Structures are given as structure tokens and as C-alpha cells.
Amino acid sequence: MASEAERRPQGMFECQLCALSAPYSYVGQKPPDTRSVVLLEESYILKDPFTADRDKFLVLGSRCSVCSRLVCVGPECSLFYSKRFCLPCVRENIAAFPQEIRQDVEKRKALAKMPHVKP
Amino acid sequence: MPPPRTREGRGHRDHHRAPHEEETPERWDWNHPETRRLLEDTFFRDEEYIRQGSEECQKFWAFFERFQRFQNLKTARKEEQDPGPPKHSIPALADLPRTYDPRYRINLSVLGPDTRGSREPGRRLPPERVAEFRRALLHYLDFGQKQAFGRLAKLQRERAALPIAQYGKRILQTLKEHQVVVVAGDTGCGKSTQVPQYLLAAGFSHVACTQPRRIACISLAKRVGFESLSQYGSQVGYQIRFESTRSAATKIVFLTVGLLLRQIQREPSLPQYQVLIVDEVHERHLHNDFLLGVLRRLLPQRPDLKVVLMSATINIALFSSYFGGAPVVQVPGRLFPITIVYQPPEVEPATAKSEKLDPRPFLRVLEAIDNKYPPEERGDLLVFLSGMAEISAVLEAAQTYASHTQRWVVLPLHSTLSVADQDKVFDVAPPGVRKCILSTNIAETSVTIDGIRFVVDSGKVKEMSYDPQAKLQRLQEFWISQASAEQRKGRAGRTGPGVCFRLYAESDYDAFAPYPVPEIRRVALDALVLQMKSMSLGDPRAFPFIEPPPPASLETAILYLRDQGALDGTEALTPIGSLLAQLPVDVVIGKMLVLGSTFHLAEPVLTIAAALSVQSPFTRSAQSNPECAAARRPLESDQGDPFTLFNIFNTWVQVKSERSRNSRKWCRRRGIEEHRLYEMANLRRQFKDLLEDHVLLAGTEAPRPGDSYSRLQQRRERQALYQLKRQHEEGAGRRRKVLRLQEEQDGASSDEDRGATADQDSCDSVDIQDVKFKLRHNLEQLQAAASSAQDLSRDQMALLKLVLGRGLYPQLAVPDPFNSGCKDSDQIFHTQTKQGTVLHPTCVFAGSPEVLHTQEPESRASDGSRDDKDKMSSKHQLLTFVSLLETNKPYLVNCVRVPALQHSNNVYDRDFEELGHVIVGPEGYTELKVQDDFLEEWRDLRTKGRVPKGWRWKGQIQTSNREQGRGLQEQLDPGADGVSESTSHHILSLFPQVPYSLRRLTGLEVQNLYVGPQTITAAPSLPGLFGSSTLSPHPSKGGYTVTDFLTYNCLTSDTDLYSDCLRTFWTCPHCDLHMPFTPLERITHENTCPNAPQGGSPGAEEADPEPLQKASALQRPYHCETCQKDFMFTPTEVLRHRKQHV
């Protein structure tokens, strides 16, 4: 259980938009125990809780590159397009994004309005 | 690290279907094993995120194929060239890629082969292919991230949606202000899974949560571990009797109430916990009620300990007020509306009152559902019945109906089903078909089945009750309580609106008791009282139970424990008592274990004790299946049921050690539930450890294989086993299967076969139970014990029976004298408390009662009468039994036959007359009378048949903690008395030919059996006869207490034969003295004979003090006013005495 100790949660990650919270064990671009995968943003990372494999990680979220809010990677809160953007910032600056992203954001809005998909 | 460049314009087109179009010289085929191997060698090496050959690797390739297809479709569309937005003023937005590419949506990157250090395989791959592969891999990883995050988000959403989620803060706040908080919430509110997590989140790190059932501990630990994202960590664990996942890092542990009580027994202040959650307190289990009492006393001493009581919304005020008005946080349940339909059965004709349940009202409900609800509307039916007989009655009828309509799959659910059959209720029915689950009240609280829309409530329950007077357990049918009825109803509304059919009238419901009777009022309290004593809780009568048990039950238990030597005269725990308190078994079984180890019969007794402490391993179907019965026959023992179980266990161990894979099949063929045998093995191990801890057993040195090679071999084997176990656990989670219509008609055995093959498919033919068994036990040791058991000598066997008989005493039954003339089913037996009991149908003697009959052709006294009444024989037998259970008849369960006179003389409490007259039983109910012609011989033999000291342990030793354990052992050690196998041989070879009669005394006879209390002027003083021990008159029976289990001269005899004229000539075997002796004089001589061998003088314990006066039936205590003296006088003597004063 040595690895257990190494992986002690460093703190609680909490999304500033949807309040999703989970303990994270690492912040950075190079998840521990993984050599060949690197992250393209400073991420809050948790060991993937749904697998016994110790090397598997799960990215919880990161800071919006516009407003620096800490947001989760959930589609209702943020998107990644070479950088992390929270959805409010995307909407505010929607013109800066290519067509595909614009469409995508529209789609998400529609989805979020449906009653059974709770944010 | 720059994002890897991709060339999607080309890569996607050349998938394996068109390799020849490829401009690369070699044919390129993504599906080619060699291609894949090359890529895997490059990207999926051992230290990589995905490893070659892993399940993940397979998943990737499946993804890869889908991904390729998808890319093909997509690029078939026109690729739009977006000119891109103008440069932005916000820096973060200013350098966005000009051209959109899905790749930019992914927040991670995979290193290419070149950055991994160029290796041979990587260089042989064309760079475009590598790029293509990397791209797919990237998408695969991104997909994995999305999936996992989706699960996490869903989990949190679900948790937040639970009714209790809004109360979390309030619960924590209340707990901060109070020591005890009651959380009341109905099924589905989430209290059991959420409250521990709230505590964890609030920073508590030593939380215990008790559950009434083991299975709940495991499933809750799993669920809470999953929800708190530490499914594979160790902060959430469970601890049950034989299994624990607890470690130093564990913050929440789910454990059974019994286990927590044992922890309190060891450490009364429970220092290891900060918070204690006691779940399901409303169920009112014996242990839970007891725990509450213990906690109430403990709380003032542990002001820092917090307690959360969790309950359904039943009788909350009781718990709150018991803890001084503890605050209650009430949480609404999450139930959909349920329609109640009262459907009392029409009044049946009183004449047709058969014992079998009428299934028609139940079929009517099935029919009504079929008529009213279209089959597309899913929703299963749960039927609550009182017991197994009722389930089979309805099962039969419902199956006929189901085969007719093809719209139902009917499944039974009760605790004696095999585990595999129980699991079937969780499987799903095919479309258009509903499950109909026929269940006992097990589905009321213990088992929760999803998808139930309809409930049928029979309103009945079969419950065990305890009769302290008759010391008998009774399984009776009762109306349920209103609380149970509500609970049953609630099962219909867990997943949607439901309907509850109540097969009784609303007026019946109104007449139901509000709550069920708590267990403490229904069971024997022996074990509870013993545990209370060992926890130093003082007088059980004064214990502040939340609702006190019936005083009679307490008194019976205390008296019983005193009789058994667990408590002394002042009701203090004896050393043996404290040992028994640590054995997690009935007192009788505990006694057996202690005796067994003192008589060097530990191995067989361990097995038998374990076998008698688990549920019967015989499956129900096996009873009716003649093939199973035939296969089992060679294992049956005509000595009694415990020996049959003994044989089964031993043979099973042999089967396991020879060909372990087949043990499951071996069991199935014989109608044995293998799970019970695993439990036996576990229990046996636990008993052994406990006995070793108390130095009653010498620690076993495991036979270590000498050479390093075999040690290595062994280590490898164990490692392989661990590997298997891990694999099983990782792939854990039984997948739901789709049930087949008509499945049940095939009978259980073929079902299990099917189940077994399915299991084998799913878990690689690993029998995980077998793996666990091998990891936990030393099979070699077990096998050695098993094979030595198979060649127990006749003497050892007889001694084993003595041990069992002593352990089970006073649970013995006398066969009715007319049994030999009756047919098998009419054989009756009389116990001390209950007349006319019968053998349980599973009992080995039920099929062959003739082995219990006294077969002696030359019976002299019976004069041609065909029964055994007053028959003189040397072969009378008694039945000693483990439990007495009354259902429709009183049944003797788990019987052993024992030779009557030998056992009466050696191991049972008894009262003696010198005239070949033995009365057995604490209150005296069985009489053995030796035939007159053999009186001399009997007397002679009797004095030899001394009772080994080891049979008795009362109040001899002061402590039994580990340091002084040796002392305990010495005290118990029969070796000091020279009891060994040869002694048992000696005991049993006594009386081989002495004919005697055996009969149960009538109540009236018992009343007049004893001379009664007497006031005797002087204790018999025969100096030297008993050494230092003094004889005291027996307070109730009269006569003298020779030892605590032998009273002499207390019986009323019809003739006054004790006189000097009974002197007979006798020659002392040691000093050859030849002269006339009374029996007493003879014993006195034997005791003091200078030539007698050392080491226990004959008759030391049984010698009879001659009272100063001759015993006479007419003598009564007489107090003379004039001379102020007490006498024993006959009326004539009184007159004579009075005359002196005149």
C-alpha cells in the first residue's frame, strides 16, 4: 500500500461553475506513473477511481485561460480548444472560435435545457 | 512539447480493405497480426499507459476499428476551409489555431516513437501510419477520460439527488452539538451509504458502521468505496467473521454488530473509534438492542465518542428517549405512490382445513395483473409468504399457471436456497415476461430487488419464539405487524408507482400490532447472559435494556449457565465461563470443544462443533431427490447426525485435496451446499485458534517442507492463487443474466449445472471459493485431520460420544417403550421438558429407527410383551440431541444415540440409590434400574467406573487468562486422573452384560422421587472417607451432595433395605481382606486400604456416606422441643423419643 500513501489527496477540487468536487492527488501536466502521455494544460488530476490500474489517471479540470476560474472538464462547464475555456467565457467571446465550436456550444445549450440532463 | 502533426488527408483512406491501393511498397493491413504487434511493441510496452495483451489493449483495437470507419465517413464530406476569425485582443484567444481540427479539442498528447528512444520496431513503421495510429490512440484516451469523468459526474448527481443529501449538513451540525443523533429515514433515502461519507468528508477518520447482516457489510463497503472514489483504495473497508478488508488506512469500517460487541468485550471503552453508526436499529435484533444498552453505559465514560443511530421511521421516540431525548433528524424516503388493494380470501369451508396453503388467492393476483397491465409495461411481482412450505405450495401452482400463460418466471427466495439460486432473483426476465418472486420475509429488509412494481402480502410470518420453560424453540406462524406490512408495501414503490395486494382485510390490518416483537423477547438468552457476564456488566436483571426481556428467560438462562458451570453460585463468571464466552457458539458446543481438547480428541470435535454451528448443508431439493439421497448414503452414520456431518466434511476435504476442481460437483451430486462446508472450515479454524490461544491445544507446528525447492514450489502456488483471487476481484460483479421461461421446471440440479457452466464462462473456470479456501487453510493439515478421523478406533469413537453426550447434557431423550412395535413415522421420544417429540425428517434415525430399539432376544422380564417397557436389557439407548424445534410437531434435531447406562453413570448428573437405581437429569426424569440378579455385579462395576475429573470443571480454577491458561489446562487435564483412551475403554466396557430397565418417570413419580429436605443433626462423619471434602445435605432433594453432580441417598425407596443384614462377604483385591461389608464400609475400606494403588482411590467421588440412621421412606425431620435437637424419625420413632421425656 505504499503507492496509496503517495497518492494521498492533496486537496479538494471544486468546479466553480457546477460545484462538482472530488479529491485531487496531482496538479500539473505530467501525471505520475505515466510516461508516454502528457497533458496540454495544467490539470487537476485524480487516479482513475474506476479502475484498479494504478497508472490510470482522470483529469478533473483546470483553469479557464481567459478568466482563470477553476472549472471541471464536464461539457456543461468548459471546453478545450488548444486551451481550456469555461463556457461563460466561450459564450462571451464566441466570435473568436471557429464554426465547429460555435455549433457545439449551441448544441450544449440545447442539451442543458432538457429537463432530465441536470447540470 | 509540440502537438504531433497529423496528416489526415491520406491516412484514413488506406484501411485494410484496400491495401493494394497503398503507395507503400509492402501491403498495409491494420488487421494483420504482425502490423499490430509492431505497433504494440512500439506503443504498448510494459511501462506504457496501455499494455500489450491487456484487456485495455483489446478494447483499444476495437475502438480503433470503429474510429477508422468513422473517419472515413466524415472525410467523405467536404472539408470546410474556415478562414478563421480575426485576431483577438485577449491573448488567450489571440493564438487559437486558425484552422479547426478535432485534434485541438483534446487536452493530452501521446509521445511518438522517436521521443521514446528510437527502437528497431518503431523505425520499420511508415511515419504516416504511426501518425494515424497516434491520432487514434489520442482519441481513444480522450474517450476514456470523457467516459470516466462522465461516471464521476453522474455519481455525484445521483448522490446529490438523494433525499438525504439536503440533510447532510444538519446531521453533521447536530452531531457536533450532541453526543447521540437519531437519523430516521425510510428505504431509499440513502442514509446507509451517505451518512458515513458525510462523516468522512467532515474529517472523521475512525468511523465504524454496524450492520445486522454480514452481506450488508460487504455490499455497503463496496458501494461506499465506489461512491467515495476509493473503490480500489483502502479507506473504506468491512470486517465480518472470517473476512476483513480493513487496514491501517481504513477510515470507515462496516462491521457486524456481533463483531463490534466482541471488540467492546476486549476493549470496553472502544478507543479505536470516534464515531459509531448503528444502522437498522428499528429491526430490534438481539445484538442491536444489547449494543444500545452497552452504549448507553459507555457514553458518559467516552464523552468524545459520537453515536449515530439510524432507523426506519418506526418507533423513533423509543430510541430518542432511551438516549435522554437525543435529537432526531428525519429524512423523507423516496417512494413512489403505492395503491393498496385489500383482497381478503373468501371464507373457506371450515372442514377443508388442510395444513397446506391454498394458492388460489395468489393465482388470482397473477391473473389480475395479466388482465389489467399490458406485458410491455414492465414491473415484477414480489410475494411475501410465511415460510418454505407455503412457498412451495404457491410455487407449484404458479408454475403451472406460468407454463400456461408464458408470461411469468416464478422464483423462490428463502435463506436455505443455495447462493446461486438466491442470486437468480436479480436476473432479468425476457421482454413481455414478469418475474414472480415468492419470498419469505427475507425480502422485507435483507434483500432488495429492483424493478418490483407489484407486491402481494399474505400478512403472515413464521417466527422463532422461545419457550424458556420447555427450553424449546418454536417456529410459529403469526400475523405480521403494521410496521412490517408497511415495509412490504414499500417494496412496490422503489422504482415507480406500484400496487400492493394485501390478502387480508383492512380491519385485520388495523388489528395488527404496531411493531414486531423484538428478538430479545423471542430467543434463548444463554449466550447473551454469558456475554454480559464476560463484559462485567453486572446483574443482567438490572441491565438497562431498551425493552427488557421476559424475566423468566433471564432466569432460565442464568440457571442454565450455573448448571453448566459457566457461572458459580454467586452468578460470577467461572474461568470456564469466560472461555465459553469467547467462543462464538452456543454454550453446548463450547463445552464440547473444551471437553474435546482435554480428552485429546480436538480434531474430530473441532469438526463436529463447526458442523453443528452452521446451517444444515443439505439443500432442500436433495431431500426429495432419490439420486442425491443414494449418493449421500455411504456418508451417513448410524451413530447420529453429527457423525454424518463429520463424514461429509472429512470426505469433502479429501475430495478437495485430491481433485479440488470437482468438489463443487461432488457436493451438487449429493445435494450439499458447498458454501456451508466452506463456512465449517472457517469456523473450525477459528475454534482451533481460540483453543490454542487458551492453551487448551498445543500450537500446531505447520509441517514445513524441508528442502528449499518444495518451499519455493509452495510459495509459487500461493502466489498463483493470489493472482487468481485478484483477477477475480477485478473482474468482479456478477453480470445479470436473462432468465429463461420455465426454467424452474427442470429442477434445481440442472439449474445449478447451467449456473456452473455459465460461471465458468464468465470467470475463466476459476472457483473463487476454492481459491479463497486454499489461501486461508492449510489443506495438508486439514487433510491429515480428515484422514485420521476416518480411522478413529472404536474406543475413540465411544469417547467422542461421551464428549458429545456430556456437552449436550441435559439435552437427552428417552425412546418410548412402545417404539419397537410402531412404524417408522410413529417413533416418539420424551425429553425432560417435552413428551412425545419426534425425529426431524432429516435425522438419520428417521429412516432407520430400528438401531434405536433394544434388540435382545433373551429379554427376561418382559414376558413376551413386544414393547421395551420395563424390558431388561444391557443395550438400552438414549438419544442426545442438539436442539428441540417445534413447528407442527416438536422435533429433535441433530441426534446421537448413546448407551444409556454407561452415559448415565459417567457423564450425566444423577442421583443414586445403592440398589441399582439411577435417576438421570437435573430434575430427575429417567430411571435406570438394574436387574436384581445382577445387583452385586453392578455395584462392583460401578465403583470402578469413576468419573474422570475432566468431565467436570465447576468452580475449580480462579482465572483463565493466557498466563494462567496452563493452570486451567492442568485442572481440566484428565491425564491427572489417568483418563485416556484406555480409561474410556474401561468406562465403556463396564456393564456390558448387566441388564437394566430404562423408563421415563411420570410427573407424579418425579414429585415423590426424593425424600425431600431434611434437617439432620450431624453430618455423616466417617473420617478419612472423603479426605478433606465435606458432605452437605442436599437442600431440596434430601440425601447428600457427594459432588455437584451426584447426590446420594436422596431417593425415596419403597422398602427399607439398608440395614446391616445387607452385609455381604467381599474380598479386597488389594489386601485380600475377606469379611462381610455393607457397601459403604466396603468403599471406605477401598479408600483407605494401604495396599490400594495410588492415583485416585476408587469411589472417591461416588462413595456414599451412610447416614447415621437407616434411611427409611417414613422418616421425616423431627425437631424435639424438649431437647432442642433435630432428628430423622419415623412416626414410631417420634413416639418412642417423646416417651423418653415424659
Task: Give the DSSP H/E element, type plus range, for residue A46.
Answer: strand A43-47
Give the model's pLDDT for residue B331: 92
Whose cell is 477459528? That residue is B686
The answer, for A72 touching chain B at a CB cutoff of 8 Å, is yes
Shortest CA distance to B105 belongs to which of B68, B64, B142? B142
Residue B950 CB contacts under 8 Å (≥ 6 apart), including other chains: B595, B598, B599, B972, B973, B974, B977, B979
Residue B128 CB contacts under 8 Å (≥ 6 apart), including other chains: B7, B10, B11
Give the model's pLDDT for residue B843: 87
**Cβ-count burial B140-169 (b if 16+ within 10 Å, e if not):** bbbebbeebbeebbebbeebeebbbbebbe
Residue B160 CB contacts under 8 Å (≥ 6 apart), including other chains: none
Nearest Cβ partner for A95 among B49, B85, B99: B85
Instruction: List helix spans (H) across B17-54.
Output: 33-43
B231 contacts on A by Cβ (under 8 Å)? 49-50
Distance CA B482, CA B295 (A): 29
Across the A:B interface, residue pairs with CB atoms under 8 Å apart total 128
Question: Distances from the Cα of B954 to the Cαs of B252, B559, B563, B809, B978, in angstroms?
Answer: 43, 14, 9, 15, 19
Question: Distances from the Cα of B845 to the Cαs of B636, B815, B867, in angstroms?
Answer: 10, 12, 19
Nearest Cβ partner for B88 among A62, A96, A101: A96
**Cβ-count burial B78-89 (b if 16+ within 10 Å, e if not):** eeeeeeebeeee
Picking from B82, B107, B197 by the largest number of A CB atoms within 10 A of its own CB, the best residue to mutate is B107
Q: Could you tell me which residues are beta bridge partners of residue A38?
A: B109
Nearest Cβ partner for B230 among A39, A49, A93: A49
A38 contacts on B by Cβ (under 8 Å)? 1, 108-109, 111
Shortest CA distance to B594 belongs to which of B607, B608, B605? B605
Do B148 and A50 lie within an 8 Å CB cutoff? yes
Distance CA B183, CA B204 (A): 18
What stretches of B140-270 adopt beta strand conformation (E)?
A: 180-185, 207-211, 236-240, 243-244, 252-256
Strand-strand pairing, B1125-1129 and B1116-1120? antiparallel
Size (chain B), residues: 1142
User: Would you say B334 and B188 are in contact if contact means Cβ atoms under 8 Å apart?
Assistant: yes
B78 CA: distance to closest CA in chain A (Å): 14
What distance, in Å, lies between the first and last C-alpha atoms of chain A?
36
Q: How many CA atoms lie within 13 A of B1012 on its CB side?
A: 9
Nearest Cβ partner for A65 among B92, B106, B161: B92
Distance CA B615, CA B683 (A): 12
Do A93 and B97 lie within an 8 Å CB cutoff? no
Whose cell is 428441540? That residue is B884
B82 contacts on A by Cβ (under 8 Å)? 98-100
Nearest Cβ partner for A82 among B48, B90, B97: B97
The answer, for A66 touching chain B at a CB cutoff of 8 Å, is yes
Residue of B nearest to A72 (CA): B149
Nearest Cβ partner for A58 among B47, B85, B149: B149
Do B107 and A60 lie within an 8 Å CB cutoff? no
Do B108 and A81 lie within an 8 Å CB cutoff? no
Mean pLDDT by 10 residues, chain B (1142 residues): 43 42 59 82 78 82 87 61 62 82 88 59 72 88 93 92 93 96 87 94 93 86 88 85 84 94 91 95 93 95 96 91 95 87 76 69 93 91 92 92 91 81 85 93 80 94 83 87 92 90 95 92 91 92 94 91 86 86 83 82 91 86 78 89 93 83 84 89 88 70 61 78 73 67 46 40 59 81 79 80 84 84 82 86 84 63 49 82 87 89 72 68 72 72 54 39 44 43 55 74 72 54 42 68 65 50 68 71 66 45 37 65 75 74 72
Nearest Cβ partner for B104 among A20, A50, A82: A82
B198 contacts on A by Cβ (under 8 Å)? none
Residue of B nearest to A99 (CA): B82
Whose cell is 459509531? That residue is B276
List the grid coordinates of B354: 388442510
Do A20 and B153 lie within an 8 Å CB cutoff? yes
Do B233 and A4 lie within an 8 Å CB cutoff? yes
Residue B461's CB: how many other CB atoms inside 10 A? 21
Residue B644 CB contacts under 8 Å (≥ 6 apart), including other chains: B635, B636, B637, B844
Give the model's pLDDT for residue B371: 93
User: Would you say A61 and A73 are in contact if contact means Cβ atoms under 8 Å apart?
Assistant: yes
A65 contacts on B by Cβ (under 8 Å)? 92
Shortest CA distance to B440 belongs to which of B473, B402, B488? B488
Distance CA B612, CA B595 (A): 16
Do A56 and B49 lie within an 8 Å CB cutoff? yes
Nearest Cβ partner for B109 among A20, A38, A93: A38
User: Would you say B239 and B253 are in contact if contact means Cβ atoms under 8 Å apart?
Assistant: yes
Shortest CA distance to A44 belongs to which of A54, A34, A29? A29
**CB-based burial of residue B377 (10 Å sphere; 0-12 exposed, 13-18 middle, 19+ buried)?**
exposed
Nearest Cβ partner for B93 among A50, A59, A93: A93
Shortest CA distance to A48 belongs to which of A67, A66, A33? A33
What distance, in Å, lies between the first and last C-alpha atoms of chain B?
130
Phi then psi for residue B178, to 5 deg, are -130, 160
Distance of CA B1090 to the CA centre of its chain: 55
Residue A7 CB contacts under 8 Å (≥ 6 apart), including other chains: A25, A32, A47, B233
Residue B953 CB contacts under 8 Å (≥ 6 apart), including other chains: B565, B574, B576, B594, B971, B972
The answer, for A110 touching chain B at a CB cutoff of 8 Å, is no
Distance CA B616, CA B637 (A): 16
The angle subtended at Cα A27 by Cα A23 and Cα A33, nearest 5°, is 95
B3 contacts on A by Cβ (under 8 Å)? 40
Picking from A3, A30, A37 by the largest number of B CB atoms within 10 A of its own CB, the best residue to mutate is A37
Q: Could you tell me which residues are beta bridge partners of residue B880?
A: B812, B896
For residue B915, give the amino acid letter.
L
ipTM over 0.95: no
Do A20 and B80 lie within an 8 Å CB cutoff? no
Residues (pLDDT < 70) of chain A are: 1-8, 111-119
Residue A12 CB contacts under 8 Å (≥ 6 apart), including other chains: A21, A22, A23, A24
Give the model's pLDDT for residue B870: 63
Strand-strand pairing, A70-72 and B180-185? unpaired
DSSP string, B431-442: TT-EEEEEE-TH
User: Would you say B577 and B534 are in contact if contact means Cβ atoms under 8 Å apart?
Assistant: yes
For residue A2, give the amino acid letter.
A
Nearest Cβ partner for B92 among A49, A56, A66: A66
Phi then psi for residue B18, to 5 deg, are -130, 60
B217 CA: distance to closest CA in chain A (Å): 21
Do A41 and B107 lie within an 8 Å CB cutoff? yes
Question: Distances from the Cα of B1035 to the Cαs of B414, B549, B785, B925, B1016, in angstroms?
Answer: 50, 30, 47, 19, 11
B95 contacts on A by Cβ (under 8 Å)? 82
Phi then psi for residue B1126, to 5 deg, are -105, 140
**Cβ-count burial A71-97 (b if 16+ within 10 Å, e if not):** bbbbbbbbbbbbbbbbbbbbeebeebb
Coil, helix or strand for B1068? coil
Q: Could you tell me which residues are beta bridge partners of residue B918?
A: B912, B928
Do B109 and A1 lie within an 8 Å CB cutoff? no
Do B88 and A50 lie within an 8 Å CB cutoff? no
List the grid coordinates of B242: 472470517
Do B92 and A83 lie within an 8 Å CB cutoff? yes
Do A4 and B92 lie within an 8 Å CB cutoff? no
Do B149 and A98 lie within an 8 Å CB cutoff? no
Residue B1035 CB contacts under 8 Å (≥ 6 apart), including other chains: B1013
Shortest CA distance to B261 belongs to which of B532, B539, B561, B558? B532
